[in-house]
A and B are shown apart, each in its own frame.
Chain A
Amino acid sequence: GENVEQHPSTLSVQEGDSAVIKCTYSDSASNYFPWYKQELGKRPQLIIDIRSNVGEKKDQRIAVTLNKTAKHFSLHITETQPEDSAVYFCAPEEVRGKLQFGAGTQVVVTP
């Protein structure tokens, strides 16, 4: 099965700064790479995803970059705001829709 490593496990940033979370995976056949945000006590919410035929995707302050050769993809959050504080999970797809979740990154944005 897929081995997923996510770094860092915690990330503290000043409001307005950028945050970057990296996810490495092992299965070279993976073709779909989503990021989820989970606020305390809430459901995981899909915030951005990318497929293997694309190297980068952006949605306002959030972007995802993919390096398929090196088998890693990263979440970039610019101009961070307090509401960005949450746990972020990468979840590369194994086969037939099965996602393998990383351990998560606790992001704390301080005003």
Chain B
Amino acid sequence: SAVISQKPSRDICQRGTSLTIQCQVDSQVTMMFWYRQQPGQSLTLIATANQGSEATYESGFVIDKFPISRPNLTFSTLTVSNMSPEDSSIYLCSVAENSNQPQHFGDGTRLSIL
């Protein structure tokens, strides 16, 4: 399966600031997704990153808070904007070659907001 690199692996940020998380894949993939996993919880889908167009957000997530870029078939970024302690979580990207193929995850970004 594809090798997925996610950066940074962790960060500690001040409230009110923003952080951009990168997801790089070593092969072209059709599907890229961003998830949030709060401590001890399950994974919640934030959005589907669409190449060349605006991301598709799930209920409860908005573009102003979580802007996403997908400039090509191997790269995506998620920005967590105007952070508050409630945004402390693990953020994971996942990829699939296409919608009929299994989804694989990056190692995640552990984000703490002070």
Determine the interface band of chain B, counting residues with CB < 8 A from chain A: 20 to 34
A91 to chain B, nearest CB (A): 8
Is there a chain B Cβ closer than 8 Å to A104's Cβ?
yes
Is there a chain A Cβ closer than 8 Å to B17's Cβ?
no
Number of interface residues of A (CB under 8 A): 20
- From known contacts A89-B42, A97-B33, A98-B48, infer whether A34 and B92 are also in contact, taking CB-CB under 8 Å: no
A1 to chain B, nearest CB (A): 8
Q: Which 6 A-B pairs give the minimum distances between C-beta atoms?
A: A97-B99, A43-B105, A101-B43, A97-B31, A101-B42, A96-B99
Hey, which bits of chain B sit against chain A, CB under 8 A?
31, 33, 41-45, 48, 59, 92, 96, 98-100, 102-108
14 A-B pairs with C-beta separation under 8 A: A34-B102, A43-B105, A43-B108, A46-B102, A46-B104, A89-B43, A97-B96, A97-B98, A97-B99, A98-B45, A100-B45, A102-B42, A103-B41, A104-B42
18 additional contacts (CB under 8 A) given A100-B45, A101-B42: A1-B59, A32-B100, A43-B107, A46-B102, A46-B104, A49-B102, A89-B42, A96-B31, A96-B48, A96-B99, A97-B33, A97-B48, A97-B96, A98-B45, A102-B42, A103-B41, A103-B42, A104-B42
